[in-house]
Structures are given as C-alpha cells and as structure tokens.
Structure 1
Amino acid sequence: MQTRRNFLKLSASAPLLMGAGSLLGGIPAMSSQAAEVGGYRALVCIFLDGGMDSHDTVIPYDNTSYQSFVSHRTSLMNAYDSTNTDSSRNRNNLLPLDPVSASFSGRQFSLPPQMAALHSLFDQGNAAIVGNVGPLLRPVDSAALEGREDLTPARLFSHNDQMSTWMSFAPEGSLTGWGGMFGDAVTAVSANREPVFSQISLGGNSVFLAGDTVGAYEMEKDGIPSIALIEEAGRNLPLTSIPLQLQGLLRDHFASAGNNRGNLLERDIIDLSRVSLDANDKMRIALEGAPSFTTEFPRSSLGKQLAQIARTIAVRDTLGASRQVFYVRVGGFDTHSDQTTTLPYLQQDLSDSIAAFYAATQELGVEQDVTSFTMSDFGRTLTANGNGTDHGWGGHHFVVGGSVRGGDIYGDIPKAELGHAQDAGSGRLIPTMSVQQFAKPLGSWFGLSDEDLNTALPGLSEFPTGGPNLFV
C-alpha cells in the first residue's frame, strides 16, 4: 500500500517544478542507532550502467590462465588484434598487478593498458579490487543452485531489476537503497546541518540514495539544476529579468500558501517546492566559493560529474556537512556487440576520471576522508557471442581512497574456465561475495554501528564471514 511518506519520496524527484530534479532530503528521525559522525567522510558510488565485463577488466596474466582466457574469447581477441592495435589484449601490453597479500595459488592478474592511471593508484596503495561480487540470498555454488530457482535473486540477468537489486536488494520498484539507509543512520544523529545535502546525485533519480528519512538532492554535471517553470518563462517573455522576478513571486507564494491549503497533497507539494528553491540557493552560494583545481578532469560525462562532486566536497563546511553519499552514473557497458571498440574507451574514461578525482581530493587534503567505489548491473559471460559478451552475474569492482587498504585483491577471482563450482553457465560467475558483504566495510568506515549496518543491509546475517578488511 502506498503511504503518504512513500508518496513524498517519489514526489521528491517528480518533474512538477524542477527540470532536473532536486527536492528535499528527509527530516531527522529519532533512532536508537549510534553512528559515529566526527570529522568528515564521503562515499562516492560510480555506477557502470549496462553490466561491465569484469573478465576483460581484471584479466588473467599468468601464462596458463591467460591462455585459457584467450581460448574462450578467440573472436574478441582477434578483433582486438586486427582493429585496435594500441588496445590489444596481447599479454605483453597488459599491466600486471602485484597484490600485497592476496594469494591465488600461482594465478596472476592484470589490468588493460587503458587503465594505467588506476593501475598506478593500485601500486601506490590507494586502490583495491574486490573480486566476484554480486547479489546473493545466501552463499551458493553451481551444485546448490541445481533445480533451486528460489536461491537466485529475482529476475536475474535483467538490467533494471539487477541495477535495483545491487542498490536496494530488491527488483525494480523498491523504494529504499542502502546508500539512503546509510544517510538515515547519520541523519538520525544530526551529522549534517542541512539534511538535504546528505545524499547528492549527479546520475539522475536513483533508489540507491533513497532512505526512510532522506532523499537525493539532484545536481547536474554542470552545476545547479534548473527550474522548468522559471526557464520556460524566460524563453517566452522578452525581458531577461522576468525569470528572477518570477522566482521571487514563486518564493513569496510558497512562503505564504502552504498553511492556507486544506488539501494535504497541495500543502506537501508546496513545501517540497519551497525547500527545493532554498536548497538550490544554498548550494549555488556555496559553490561560488569553491576553489579552482589544478587537477584536470576528463571532459567526459563521468569526468564532469566527478569534478562537480569535488567542488561540492570543497564547500562541505559551508553546507554544514560531515557525512555525504554521492552517486554518479556512466552508461555504455552493455557490450553485446562491438566490445573491442567500446570497452577500451570506457575503461580509459573510468580510470582517468577516478584518478583525477583522487588527485582533487589530495588537493583538498581530504583523500583520507573520501572513498569511491564502482558498482554495475552485473558482470558478463566469459564466452564471447562473436564481437561481444552477454549478461552475467558476479563481477569485480574497484574501491579507491586514501584510507583504503589498497594494492590488494579481496575476495575471489574464479579461474578463467568453464564448468567450475562458481560457473552458472557460459562463464557467468556465481558471486562469492554478496553486495551486503561489499557494502559492510564501506558503512563501517562511514561511521555506522553494527545495528545501523544490519538495518541498512538486510540479509547480512546470511553471510557470517562478514566483509573484506578494506580500510586501514
């Protein structure tokens, strides 16, 4: 049943007055949870839309594993060699990884040449790889799954549903995500002077940032979101001052109209619109004082999104923020075809953008206080379908930051073979680490208590081994 609270959460991103979004976060709720919110910390989720091919990102490097990898991807390897000489997956062009402590019984791994910047962060101890993560109900392998559909996440291999499951542990239609629940926990202990700036999205409306008491403040990669009604007035009326005049009239109206409305829905929409205008004003004023960076970001969508996050973090004190969760999104990873052209470009952009963002946090002196991490719908098949790959399940992900116990590989990276215990068919990896286990150390570093974590990460008790020891 739809409650008034759930309606308001959905309304916060509805295009009533806002062009790109940007409505209020939540109101702090009383809670027995006791998150630790001293200092400043930020989590930055980088969502790779479409399903990143982890097999072609964390690539086997020892000769035996590499030859097995090649044998299952002959058509792709030939395409790399014939059309992308400088992007070749020839073993001599790969960037070998030397993990600090991870042991894989002689197996070695590498990154593609396009990911040199991220490789350097790994070598410097500021980036880690978490292997074979994905949605799980409980630990399983191929034998356990035989004839047991009840042990797999609902609507497995569906883009929208698995995106939602990564973010909220339920298929499309879910109303709260674990990033939002993290925000609930810190908002409950008044971590931020302005709760509206607790959760900030540059990747559009996302369930990931939706909590019970907080919602996403939406920004654009170029700055503050527009207000559709005011923009339309500016286009249709000749005087350039009209938009500002109209904005003033809207403010005056919203300031006085809310309490005079007998209809609860009208009052709520007016309240939401008033808070949106106020939030935009505060963010705009704050960003006017943001410093310039010497770091150059890629001019890609991802680069611009991360640059905007760096500017926002720079004005954290002005915004009164001590805990923030950010969300960005980049598409193109659904590489059913033309993978050898598309994926190297995406890998280069991902690597360079993350490295630039890390350098910007160093400029600000907050590299220890900001952690970025990747997520994606799912991994892809080990086998090629010709010039691409198909939907998979588990995948490998990156965690980057000055507090990360980097230079290491956490979890498992199954062999580049078919028919092993974690093969769901065609080299689709059955995850050996759940999303809850992946999220747990992020939440602990963010300051959440064990009670907070169990609330934010339902099903965590099904994985008694906990999560990786990702932070120093």
Structure 2
Amino acid sequence: MNRRNFLSLTGTFTGGSLLLPNFLHAFGTQPNLVIGEQCLVFIQLNGGNDGLNTFIPYDNPLYYDLRPKIALAKDTIVGKTNGMGFHPALKDFAAMQQNGDLSVVQNVGYPQPVRSHFRSQEIWQTATDSNQYGTNGWLGKYLDLQCNDHEPTAGINLDSIDNLALKGEEPNSITVKDPSRFKISKNKEQGITLSENPQLDFVRKVANSVKEGSTEIQKALAKSTAEVSYPKTNLGKNLQWIAQLVKGNLNSKVYYTSQNGYDTHDNQVNLHNRNLTELNDALAGFYKDLKQAKLLQNVTIVVFSEFGRRVKDNGSGTDHGTAAPMFIIGGSTKGKVLGNNPNLTNLDNGDLKHEIDFRSVYASVLKEKMAFDAGKIGIKNEGLRGLF
C-alpha cells in the first residue's frame, strides 16, 4: 500500500470517532505549530467557475454580443469600477472591495491549459506545469519545510476527502468534515517503537497526527464561540468552523475547503446565481467574524477555480474555458483590481488568454504573508506585485 492510500485510510474523517488498532494510539504529545500569526484560507470552486459572469466586463459591448442568453444586465451589476463589476449575488464582495479588503486578480491561468476538471485541479494543487505530474501538493511541500518532523494540525482540510494540495512527505495536515465530532479515544498503552517497515512507521506517524490533531482541535473549539450568524450551507458551516479554530488559537498555517456546482453547461443563470449567493453569504459571515475579532489582517483568503468558461455561451450555459479571476480577501491586501480587463477580441480558439500565472499569486502569498521563498518548493514564478 502506498503513502497516499495510507493517508486516505487513516487521516481522512467524515465525522464521528475513528476506531484504530491499539498500537496506533500510543504516541507522545507534540506542541502546536507556531510561526508568526498569519494563516491562509483557500476556497476552491469546483467545476470551473464562469469568471466573465462573476467579475463582469459590463462596459464591453462584445460581452453582450457573445453571450446573448446569459449576459447580466448592466443595471444589475454591483461594485462597478473601470468597466468591471460583480455579479449581483456578490454584493458583499463588492462591499469588501469598496472597504479595501478584497483584491481581484484578472485573467489568471497557466500555459497550455487543460480543460479536464480533474487534471486542471491537479495542476493548481501541485503547482506544476501542465505537462508535468506531481505526487505532492504545493502546500504539502511548504509544510514539509516549515514543520519540525511533522505537525498534526499545520494544515486543516474541511472536507470529506483528502486534498492533493496538502499532501507532503509528512502528515502535516488533517482532513475533517465536522470538527465538533472529531474526537479520538485515548489509550494508555505505551512503549511503541518504530519498526523496520517504513510504511508501517508512516501509518503510525499518521495515527499520531490523528490523536494529537483531535486533541488540539477540541482545545481550540473550547476556547472559541460562534459570535456571528452564518448561513446553514456546507460552505457556511465550513467557514464557521475555520473561524472558530482561528479564534481558538489552533495556530494552523493553512485551511482548505471547497464548494461544488460550478460546471454550468446548462441552466447557468439560475445555477450560477445560486452558487455565488452561497459563496457570498458564507464569506460575508466569515469576513464579519474575523473583522469583529480583529483578525482579518492575519487571515488571507484565496478564492479560485480550476478554470473559467468559454467566452461565447452555448445557448443555456457555457463550456469549459481557461482564464478567470482570483479573489484575495483580508491579509492586509491592497484592495486593488490587478491585471487588464478581459480582452474579448484577442481570443485563443474562443477562450480568454491568461495574462497572470496562478503560481505568481502563490509566490506572492508565500513571500508576503508567510515569509517563505516559493522557489524552495519548485515555483519559479516571480510573485505578483501590488497584491499586499
């Protein structure tokens, strides 16, 4: 059995208690990872979010010519600036941007784009070129270099499945669906020593992470309360958990969660409105919670999708495309719109040409917020200027 299978077997939680063999329970304690006060929160929009109907070039007549069935009316668009504006469902995004707490990075993508959901997500999660395949995630590599041996809660993935972005050589992250139910029974058995089997040793190390992660998460939850109302959606609940863990001083450096439903080939107007409303409302609660706790400057939120959609609609929706905007919230971002407005005349076979490589955003976030050189994990791109 390989390491990924071990990690998937022992480090992924869907709520409730996890039953482990006795020999996997008896490990010593480890302190929390503490490196400054900053942390990163990633929200992955699964399915390929339509960037042109999220941050909209309403002042460009071609937008309406190319999208006769799904274009948003000018008078419904909010937060207008320099010919661009937000989908009407993103009223709180517009308010955050107006407050100087949200930056938009336009036309983000990568060379030789791939339109497969799985493969494109893998590229974003490993930060490799489109013709390369990585076994570990970019955040997993970062945590490997930042952690002493392994730290159980350096990364927290709020989901029911593991995320490749957080996979490293060491089990420095935990996947958990419901932190309140993530409790591992204590076992007093002691004296377990490492074997000559590296795979067995690895699963024991994972089990140690399981035990310690459970303890530290419960301590953080006990020190924090939910003081802001969140929507009762999956994303709302996940961001509420993250806020409680941050306020409870868990000291994780990376939090990761996702929202599904962005593969809008059909019925896009209704589906996209529903998804963006859920995204807006969940992030509005999270933003208010962190602001109220005076923690927004310490938390950098990165919202992205694996690709955008094609420029021309298909009659009721849009098909897989390439470049799209990213959104950076909090973390003392400068609140700017970076990059040119989408060029709807100079297309690549009907798709937007990317102008900003997503890895330059990663490099900027790591350098400016975590004091880390992205080159150490193989990201060669220069950091994007003007973000922080």
- Normalised to the residue count of structure 1, the TM-score between the two structures is 0.72
The verdict on how the C-alpha distance between 1:433 and 1:262 changes in structure 2, with shifts beyond 3 A counting, is closer
Query: What is residue 176 of structure 2 aligned with on the other side?
Result: 219
CA distance in 2, matches of 1:92, 1:17: 46
Query: What is residue 379 of structure 2 aligned with on the other side?
Result: 458
Contact 2:152–2:210 under 8 Å retained in 1: no
Q: Give the 3-state SS of the residue equivalent to 2:253 in structure 1.
A: strand
Query: What is residue 230 of structure 1 aligned with on the other side?
Result: none
- Counterpart pick for 1:384 among 287, 300, 313: 313
Letter matched to residue 385 of structure 1: N
User: Is the aligned partner of 1:205 residue 2:162?
Assistant: yes
Structure of greater Rg: 1
- 1:42, distance to aligned residue in structure 2 (A): 0.8
Q: Give the 3-state SS of the residue equivalent to 1:70 in structure 2.
A: helix
User: Is the aligned partner of 1:412 residue 2:372?
Assistant: no
User: Is the aligned partner of 1:56 residue 2:53?
Assistant: yes
CA distance in 1, matches of 2:12, 2:332: 40
Q: Which whole-Å deviations, capped at 9, do the CAs of 1:51-88 have from their partners, x for residues lacking one?
A: 000011111132xx0x31111111224xxxxxxxxxxx
The verdict on how the C-alpha distance between 1:284 and 1:349 changes in structure 2, with shifts beyond 3 A counting, is same
Show the 5 A alignment for 1:80-91: 89-91=72-74
Show the 5 A alignment for 1:326-365: 326-365=255-294
The verdict on how the C-alpha distance between 1:9 and 1:187 changes in structure 2, with shifts beyond 3 A counting, is farther
Letter matched to residue 357 of structure 2: S
Show the 5 A alignment for 1:58-137: 58-62=55-59, 65=60, 67-77=61-71, 89-98=72-81, 108-136=83-111
Letter matched to residue 220 of structure 1: K
Contact 1:48–1:331 under 8 Å retained in 2: yes
Contact 2:152–2:212 under 8 Å retained in 1: no
- Counterpart pick for 1:183 among 143, 153, 157: 143
Q: Give the 3-state SS of the residue equivalent to 1:197 in structure 2.
A: coil
The verdict on how the C-alpha distance between 1:74 and 1:16 changes in structure 2, with shifts beyond 3 A counting, is closer
- 1:444, distance to aligned residue in structure 2 (A): 1.3
Q: Which whole-Å deviations, capped at 9, do the CAs of 1:443-470 have from their partners, x for residues lacking one?
A: 1122234xx311224332xxx6x41321
CA distance in 2, matches of 1:19, 1:112: 33
- 1:9, distance to aligned residue in structure 2 (A): 5.3
Letter matched to residue 363 of structure 1: Q
Query: What is residue 429 of structure 1 aligned with on the other side?
Result: 352
Contact 1:372–1:400 under 8 Å retained in 2: yes
The verdict on how the C-alpha distance between 1:38 and 1:326 changes in structure 2, with shifts beyond 3 A counting, is closer
Contact 1:290–1:312 under 8 Å retained in 2: yes
- 1:284, distance to aligned residue in structure 2 (A): 1.6
Q: Give the 3-state SS of the residue equivalent to 2:41 in structure 1.
A: strand
Query: What is residue 124 of structure 2 aligned with on the other side?
Result: 166
- Counterpart pick for 1:324 among 239, 253, 268: 253
- 1:299, distance to aligned residue in structure 2 (A): 1.1
CA distance in 1, matches of 2:218, 2:46: 29
- 1:215, distance to aligned residue in structure 2 (A): 3.3
- Counterpart pick for 2:244 among 311, 316, 319: 311
The verdict on how the C-alpha distance between 1:207 and 1:366 changes in structure 2, with shifts beyond 3 A counting, is same
Contact 1:335–1:390 under 8 Å retained in 2: yes
| Bigger helix share | 1
CA distance in 1, matches of 2:194, 2:77: 67
**Structure 1 residues not aligned, in runs of 5+:** 25-36, 78-88, 99-106, 137-151, 228-246
Contact 2:38–2:299 under 8 Å retained in 1: yes
Q: Give the 3-state SS of the residue equivalent to 1:131 in structure 2.
A: strand
CA distance in 2, matches of 1:167, 1:218: 16
- Normalised to the residue count of structure 2, the TM-score between the two structures is 0.87
Letter matched to residue 218 of structure 1: T
CA distance in 2, matches of 1:47, 1:413: 23
Contact 2:55–2:86 under 8 Å retained in 1: yes
Letter matched to residue 196 of structure 1: P
Determine what percentage of the aligned residue pairs are the same residue: 23
The CA RMSD over aligned residues, in Å, is: 2.8
The verdict on how the C-alpha distance between 1:276 and 1:386 changes in structure 2, with shifts beyond 3 A counting, is same
Letter matched to residue 286 of structure 2: F
- 1:369, distance to aligned residue in structure 2 (A): 0.5
Q: Which whole-Å deviations, capped at 9, do the CAs of 1:6-31 have from their partners, x for residues lacking one?
A: x445522225895569999xxxxxxx
**Structure 2 residues not aligned, in runs of 5+:** 25-33
- 1:375, distance to aligned residue in structure 2 (A): 1.6
Query: What is residue 438 of structure 1 aligned with on the other side?
Result: 361
Contact 1:185–1:448 under 8 Å retained in 2: no
Contact 2:14–2:178 under 8 Å retained in 1: no
Query: What is residue 281 of structure 1 aligned with on the other side?
Result: 215
Aligned pair count reads 371
Q: Give the 3-state SS of the residue equivalent to 1:368 in structure 2.
A: helix
The verdict on how the C-alpha distance between 1:123 and 1:174 changes in structure 2, with shifts beyond 3 A counting, is same
